[in-house]
Amino acid sequence: MLAVTSHGLKDMRVEDVPRPGLEQSTDAIVRVTTAALCGSDMHIYHGKVPAVPDGWVVGHEFCGVVEDVGDAVTGIKPGDRVVAAMYTACGHCAACVAGDHRRCKSFAMFGFGEAWGGLQGGQAEYVRVPLADMTLRAIPEGLSDESTIFTGDILATAFTALRQAAVREGDFIAIVGAGPVGQLIAMCAPLFGVARAFIIDIVPERLAEGAALGAVPIDSRTESPRKIIKEQTGGEMCDAVFEAVGNAPALQTAFSLPRPNGVVALVGMPLGEDFPLSAGDAWLRNTKIVPVLGAPFAHRDELLRLIAAGKIDAAGIITDRIPLAGATEAYRAFDDKEVQKVVFEVSK
Amino acid sequence: MLAVTSHGLKDMRVEDVPRPGLEQSTDAIVRVTTAALCGSDMHIYHGKVPAVPDGWVVGHEFCGVVEDVGDAVTGIKPGDRVVAAMYTACGHCAACVAGDHRRCKSFAMFGFGEAWGGLQGGQAEYVRVPLADMTLRAIPEGLSDESTIFTGDILATAFTALRQAAVREGDFIAIVGAGPVGQLIAMCAPLFGVARAFIIDIVPERLAEGAALGAVPIDSRTESPRKIIKEQTGGEMCDAVFEAVGNAPALQTAFSLPRPNGVVALVGMPLGEDFPLSAGDAWLRNTKIVPVLGAPFAHRDELLRLIAAGKIDAAGIITDRIPLAGATEAYRAFDDKEVQKVVFEVSK
Amino acid sequence: MLAVTSHGLKDMRVEDVPRPGLEQSTDAIVRVTTAALCGSDMHIYHGKVPAVPDGWVVGHEFCGVVEDVGDAVTGIKPGDRVVAAMYTACGHCAACVAGDHRRCKSFAMFGFGEAWGGLQGGQAEYVRVPLADMTLRAIPEGLSDESTIFTGDILATAFTALRQAAVREGDFIAIVGAGPVGQLIAMCAPLFGVARAFIIDIVPERLAEGAALGAVPIDSRTESPRKIIKEQTGGEMCDAVFEAVGNAPALQTAFSLPRPNGVVALVGMPLGEDFPLSAGDAWLRNTKIVPVLGAPFAHRDELLRLIAAGKIDAAGIITDRIPLAGATEAYRAFDDKEVQKVVFEVSK
Amino acid sequence: MLAVTSHGLKDMRVEDVPRPGLEQSTDAIVRVTTAALCGSDMHIYHGKVPAVPDGWVVGHEFCGVVEDVGDAVTGIKPGDRVVAAMYTACGHCAACVAGDHRRCKSFAMFGFGEAWGGLQGGQAEYVRVPLADMTLRAIPEGLSDESTIFTGDILATAFTALRQAAVREGDFIAIVGAGPVGQLIAMCAPLFGVARAFIIDIVPERLAEGAALGAVPIDSRTESPRKIIKEQTGGEMCDAVFEAVGNAPALQTAFSLPRPNGVVALVGMPLGEDFPLSAGDAWLRNTKIVPVLGAPFAHRDELLRLIAAGKIDAAGIITDRIPLAGATEAYRAFDDKEVQKVVFEVSK
């Protein structure tokens, strides 16, 4: 079968690899119909993720049709259309019951190599899905792949960020970075009742998209986010700030925006970056710092409800639809910021 | 000065009464510009509120201009446009700090007679406001009386109800009664991220207004709320139900709609009504019951933010604007359901 | 094998029945070492639980040793000592992930007949346990059956009650009924930081046990709980009240004790009982009503931590240890209140 | 009157200064009976707090007797025994109502100079207390100064830290630093139901005091806190860690102890210190960072309840009782770690 495989720094290939089969009675085999290219895949592309063996199948956002299931799988059956969470977990250990699936001994992320659980990814024609009753959700009738695929990762991440930052009705928030995750935060923010969301970027098209979602756009090349937000909040500044880029300038901006006793949520993966303030200054400003790992298990069911009810249109962030065979070029174009959110149309 | 005064069963008069003056150093005198007729005023009209002396000035929703303040008042000054909370409290005792202002020893509701604290009301040309720094809020520049007046009672009540019922993003809710409070719950529900709100009434015009606010209207004369909601929620029923009428049929309907482990919030004042189910059935159905007293102190600041940001348009529920001199007739018309939400234009 | 079976009103027998075997790949067979007689078993004894077929094996609190597991079971293995939850659930559906296991389609309670899921009980030498990875927990090394058995039901119920009533540090609480559940609430209350717990009963021995756990005992035959609590709380009354009996006098007492805006938690199963106050009075007093169904899945892991750390000594409530063969007599004695908390020593 | 005044680096003097009088109608004058020397006073002693004018009266923990009150004060009266919060706030603005008193425009801390609100301190025979109804609490009958004085600062800080870190029943926690605040965290931890608290220091006497409060002592000069805690938590590590020193080694230790998705609360004032980990590592470890400023307004009422009920014995941390005249020497001895928690006996 065709699959996107990693071969080190900036070397993603579309190759023919063996089709996976069932290994455990709790597995499912999914024929992938749609997969997505996620910003975090670029950490593999840039060689920042350790222990990704040569030829590893990548990808952790995907929808498909169940092809086969193990004996113990009861929640889904062959023929069901499903969307996967970006990682798997058992669902019954103490960590899972506490909603902290990352600490589950069965935790494994699709397509992230040995250090993240040794699970082949979903940018492929077929994928083996462990603990299928937990990992997969049936796509509600009438909903498309594109409208639901992001419940497995970046939409769940945006929603998790808003929840973990404890955003409430009447809050002022700022989103630093108007990429896919930043836009989904802007899209979900009205569901949390924000009085005003500010979105900050340096790319006019992205800012226009943020504005279309109801956020106040701020171009940080020409404007001071802190100054504008101070004016527009009557001096109160932000209850919560979402850092959705992961680099030093974005961190710098993010930490300049919360009110005393406010929150900065780290949604971008700031690998290798320092904090832009000292512990002493964090204390004096009373700024809470909340790293966010998306929690699809905790939130996908309400997200699917909201999508079915027409309250979230996550497919709207998709900019490019490409056959799987074009993945090598898609990674390059994404890295060069020529495309924003790519889905691979794998099969029908 | 002119004021609306209670004289027993269905006898509200507009009379000339002495104009109030400062009594405590924490008082303010407010020249009322706009007052509202609230559904709970009808409990006085119907003689259900004990200890309302003859000639008592009624009314607990009002805006105005500060005329005079006592020495200890620091947060507002003469000339400020202000909106009042429906009751007062000290703000510094253990109960107030815990957000439970009703247990404050200084708790007193405007216009509700001796049993509720002995405070004359605001359907008058002037009103004495105790603990003015706590009771009043300056109306933000650019906002009208009509857009802010309900932060003192029914808008705060609607918001409180949604908070106390712990409504969260993705929930299904039902509102029993599409009167003013029911409509404000429907108006605020999107800020809590509901997937779907159902609104139930027997008056087509009210249902149409609920539908215009985004709720699914159900006419309980011709349709079974339970049946429709079961269908439209995939059998899950409601996470939270808001009883916003206060009579037996509405209670009956409300308790038929929650999911197991769901909530029924008592927002109407069901004075004299029994529960429509036994304690045993409440246990078996696992239905939480949450009586709601509006908490304007806790919520008016975020409500004013939301109004200023254009997220709530509470003035939209006003159906009739009447001079204070027309209050006697307005009470009659309200009682006969000829008008829905009346404001008195008292002065400029 | 020997098992306790129901044969209608006040007719529990110890009979020889077929030993169960594995049916699903997610099942386990447990050789029971210790089982407990729970107050809710008496609802079967009194014929109040519908659809309990003649000969049904009863019992839902038990520990044992894993005898056999299905192919899909990974969390436990033959030879492991385990404690069961009183019911089973899948752990991966939307309801389970939301912590609301009762709405799971796989929900079934041990030993409660067809209406509660059709699952044979654990007062038997062997029991089939569905969804074993979810339903069972390994008993931590060094802990006994008796110290852990109640994590599956009444200890979890006591803990759930305190959590759902949102008890916090500094609260005053009252416990109506000093039976096993009431005592476990008293035992757990210090972990929630209560300033004072009152325990109310009519049996001096029970009150003495409550007092030994740190609660203030009140004999409601000779004293007025409301009067005493008013005095000892400086007039504030209780933040939360736990009704742990389920009959009319207990309900009456419970609803007389909360402060305005306080909680009454229905922990006893008040089957067939009415509320002792009207909806109108509940509104005027602002009393929240919270029915409690124990949530062992949500809480057993922290309970096992607390037991291992010596913070809870649940075995202390056991009053009688009886061989399984004596079950018929034990039910009678329990019904006649001759014994309080009975465990059956089934095997070693 | 006598007062302790700051004169720059390591120069605290006991001087005769003018006795304060009422300035606002909301003021009270308190005759101080007991004051305490707080660790944060040492930041003034070491010259780290900006804008403390020469001769400023210091001290922010004190009890006393009300000598005089302004016209608008209603909650207390001359002759009342009172304990003060370490800072004042109005109680009625949006920030105060939200429980975020630090953002109140009337926020001012006793004895911290111009940058913290310009309020003279309480290590003096008399002190002017603004907004007295908010700032002061009557000491419940039967309680001593020493048992209640810390509700105004360090006991409230300890309690706030446990609340803001969201410690729950069954948690493992670690306290880095067994000084007065660390010990009060250990003292309050059982009220939050911790399964186990570890306390880490380098002074054997302090560790012994921590152990007497029920914590597991770890001497970080001879033992590895991470290793011991790993062993004693079955590899799970801590749900919450409290950094209660404020220097680099303590920060380093603190950040080595949380579990993934755990919390580090910054309770010491780490002025001038960097974070001991990068933003990227905080993301990978999923460590929340929560700076803590004590919230006496939010928590003193429940603390007074708990003290009255005998659940907290905060006076137990006092090591030295000294007349006010001995303050200069007391500051030196505290700085040299010869004494631990000093109270000044000012008057009877």
Same domain, C34 and C115: yes
Q: Which residue of D has its CA nearest to C195?
A: D306
Sign of CA dihedral D198, D199, D201, D204: negative
Parts of chain A with a pLDDT under 50: none
Same domain, D6 and D147: yes
Provide the strand spans (E) within A165-215: 172-176, 196-201
Q: Taking CB atoms and an 8 Å cutoff, what residues of chain A touch B196? A: 309
Residue D183, helix vs strand vs coil: helix
Q: What angle do CA C62, C64, C66 make, to 5 degrees?
A: 130
Q: Which chains touch A (3 or more CB pairs under 8 A)?
A: B, C, D
Same domain, B257 and B299: no
- Asked if C301 is an interface residue toward chain D (Cβ–Cβ < 8 A), one would say yes
Contacts for A103-110: CB closer than 8 Å, 24+ residues apart: A103/D259, A103/D260, A103/D261, A106/A130, A106/A131, A109/A60, A110/A59, A110/A60, A110/A62, A110/A84, A110/A86
Q: Taking CB atoms and an 8 Å cutoff, what residues of chain D touch A261? A: 100, 102-103
Beta-carbon separation of C306 and D190 below 8 A: no
- Asked if C141 is an interface residue toward chain D (Cβ–Cβ < 8 A), one would say no
- Asked if D7 is an interface residue toward chain A (Cβ–Cβ < 8 A), one would say no
User: In CATH, what number is assigned to the domain containing residue C337?
Assistant: 3.90.180.10
Same domain, A97 and A72: yes
Q: Are strands B172-176 and B238-243 parallel, antiparallel or unpaired?
A: parallel
What are the beta bridge partners of residue D129?
D28
CA distance D118 to D127: 13
Q: Which of these three, B274, B291, B308, is where a domain ends?
A: B291
Residue D303: C-alpha distances to residues C194, C238, C272, D153, D161 (Å): 11, 16, 41, 11, 14
CA distance B125 to D336: 68
The stretch D20-42 carries a mean pLDDT of: 96
Chain B with chain D: Cβ pairs closer than 8 A: 48
Same domain, A64 and A207: no
Same domain, A108 and A140: yes
Parts of chain C with a pLDDT under 70: none
Q: Which of A346, A339, A331, A344 is nearest to A40 (CA)?
A: A331
Residue in B74, B88, B129, B304 to test binding to D, most D beta-carbons within 10 Å: B74
Beta-carbon separation of D90 and B70 below 8 A: no
- Asked if B166 is an interface residue toward chain A (Cβ–Cβ < 8 A), one would say no
Domain that holds residue D287: 157-291
- Asked if B98 is an interface residue toward chain D (Cβ–Cβ < 8 A), one would say yes
User: In CATH, what number is assigned to the domain containing residue B241?
Assistant: 3.40.50.720
- Asked if D195 is an interface residue toward chain C (Cβ–Cβ < 8 A), one would say yes
Q: Which residue of D has its CA nearest to B105?
A: D75
Mean pLDDT, rounded, of chain D? 96
Q: Which residue of B has its CA nearest to D297?
A: B97
Q: Quick one: pLDDT at residue A44?
A: 95
Q: Give the number of C-alpha atoms closer than 13 A to the C-alpha of residue C287, restricted to the C-beta side.
A: 26
Q: Taking CB atoms and an 8 Å cutoff, what residues of chain D touch C305? A: 170, 172, 195
Residues above pLDDT 70, as percent of chain B: 100
Same domain, D209 and D260: yes
Three-state helix/strand/coil letters over B73-93: CCCCCCCCEEEECCEECCCCC
Longest dimension (CA), chain C: 61
Confidence of residue D348 (pLDDT cuts 50, 70, 90): confident
Same domain, C284 and C179: yes
Among B260, B275, B286, beta carbon nearest to C279: B275
CA distance D6 to C38: 67
Among A171, A191, A308, beta carbon nearest to B169: A191
Beta-carbon separation of A266 and D273 below 8 A: no
Q: Taking CB atoms and an 8 Å cutoff, what residues of chain C touch D311? A: 193, 195
Q: Quick one: pLDDT at residue C48?
A: 87
Same domain, D40 and D130: yes
Same domain, B37 and B141: yes
Tokens of C57: 């094996």
Yes or no: say if D199 and D175 are a contact pair by the CB < 8 Å rule: yes
Q: Which residue of C has its CA nearest to A297?
A: C97
Q: Which of these three, A246, A276, A291, is where a domain ends?
A: A291
Yes or no: say if C22 and C70 are a contact pair by the CB < 8 Å rule: yes
Yes or no: say if C116 and C320 are a contact pair by the CB < 8 Å rule: no
Q: Which residue of D has its CA nearest to B296?
A: D97
What are the beta bridge partners of residue B109?
B87
Yes or no: say if B78 and B67 are a contact pair by the CB < 8 Å rule: yes
Q: Taking CB atoms and an 8 Å cutoff, what residues of chain D touch C309? A: 195-196
N-term to C-term CA, chain B: 15
Confidence of residue D107 (pLDDT cuts 50, 70, 90): very high
Q: Which of D208, D209, D207 is nearest to D225 (CA)?
A: D207
The stretch D224-245 carries a mean pLDDT of: 97
Among A169, A188, A305, beta carbon nearest to B306: A169
Beta-carbon separation of C303 and D170 below 8 A: yes
Work out how many domains chain A is built from and give that number: 2
Residues above pLDDT 70, as percent of chain D: 100
Q: Which residues contact B222 (CB under 8 A, 6 or more apart)?
A: none
Tell me which residue has tokens 């940080």: A220
Q: Which residue of D has its CA nearest to A280?
A: D271
Tell me which residue has tokens 């972990």: C191
Tokens of A64: 């498909």
Q: Which residue of A has its CA nearest to D282?
A: A291
Parts of chain B with a pLDDT under 50: none
CA distance A128 to A150: 19
How large is the C-alpha radius of gyration of chain D? Answer: 20
Q: Give the number of C-alpha atoms closer than 13 A to the C-alpha of residue A137, restricted to the C-beta side.
A: 29
Q: Taking CB atoms and an 8 Å cutoff, what residues of chain D touch A48? A: none
Q: Quick one: pLDDT at residue A348?
A: 83
CA distance A17 to A124: 9
The stretch D67-82 carries a mean pLDDT of: 96
Confidence of residue D48 (pLDDT cuts 50, 70, 90): confident
Q: Taking CB atoms and an 8 Å cutoff, what residues of chain B touch D93? A: 75
Same domain, C23 and C37: yes
Yes or no: say if A49 and A156 are a contact pair by the CB < 8 Å rule: no
| Residues A274-294: tens digit of each pLDDT | 999 999 999 999 999 999 999
- Asked if C316 is an interface residue toward chain A (Cβ–Cβ < 8 A), one would say no
Residue C232, helix vs strand vs coil: helix
Q: Is the pLDDT of residue D9 over 90?
A: yes
Closest CA–CA distance from residue A17 to any residue of chain C (Å)? 28
Q: Taking CB atoms and an 8 Å cutoff, what residues of chain C touch D192? A: 169, 193
Tell me which residue has tokens 């899905």: A129
Q: Which of C171, C163, C175 is nearest to C257 (CA)?
A: C175
CA distance C240 to A128: 50
- Is the predicted ipTM greater than 0.85, yes or no? yes
Q: Which residue of D has its CA nearest to C311?
A: D195
Closest CA–CA distance from residue D302 to any residue of chain B (Å)? 9
Residue D54: C-alpha distances to residues A116, D5, D8, D115, D271 (Å): 59, 8, 7, 14, 22
CA distance D210 to D281: 31
Q: Which of B218, B208, B173 is nearest to B193 (CA)?
A: B173
Q: Which of these three, A276, A291, A306, is where a domain ends?
A: A291
Residue A227: C-alpha distances to residues A173, A231, A245, A256 (Å): 15, 6, 21, 10
Q: How many CB atoms are closer than 10 A to CB C313?
A: 12
Yes or no: say if C44 and C35 are a contact pair by the CB < 8 Å rule: no
CA distance B113 to B41: 11
Same domain, B97 and B34: yes
CA distance C297 to C152: 8
Q: Taking CB atoms and an 8 Å cutoff, what residues of chain C touch B283? A: 266, 269-271, 291
Q: Which residues contact C54 (CB under 8 A, 6 or more apart)?
A: C6, C7, C8
Phi, psi values for residue B196, rounded to 5°: -155, 135
Among C72, C91, C134, beta carbon nearest to A72: C72
Report which secondary-structure segment, H or E, holds A87: strand A87-88
CA distance A254 to C194: 40
Closest CA–CA distance from residue B116 to any residue of chain A (Å)? 30
Closest CA–CA distance from residue C312 to any residue of chain B (Å)? 27
Q: Which chains touch C (3 or more CB pairs under 8 A)?
A: A, B, D
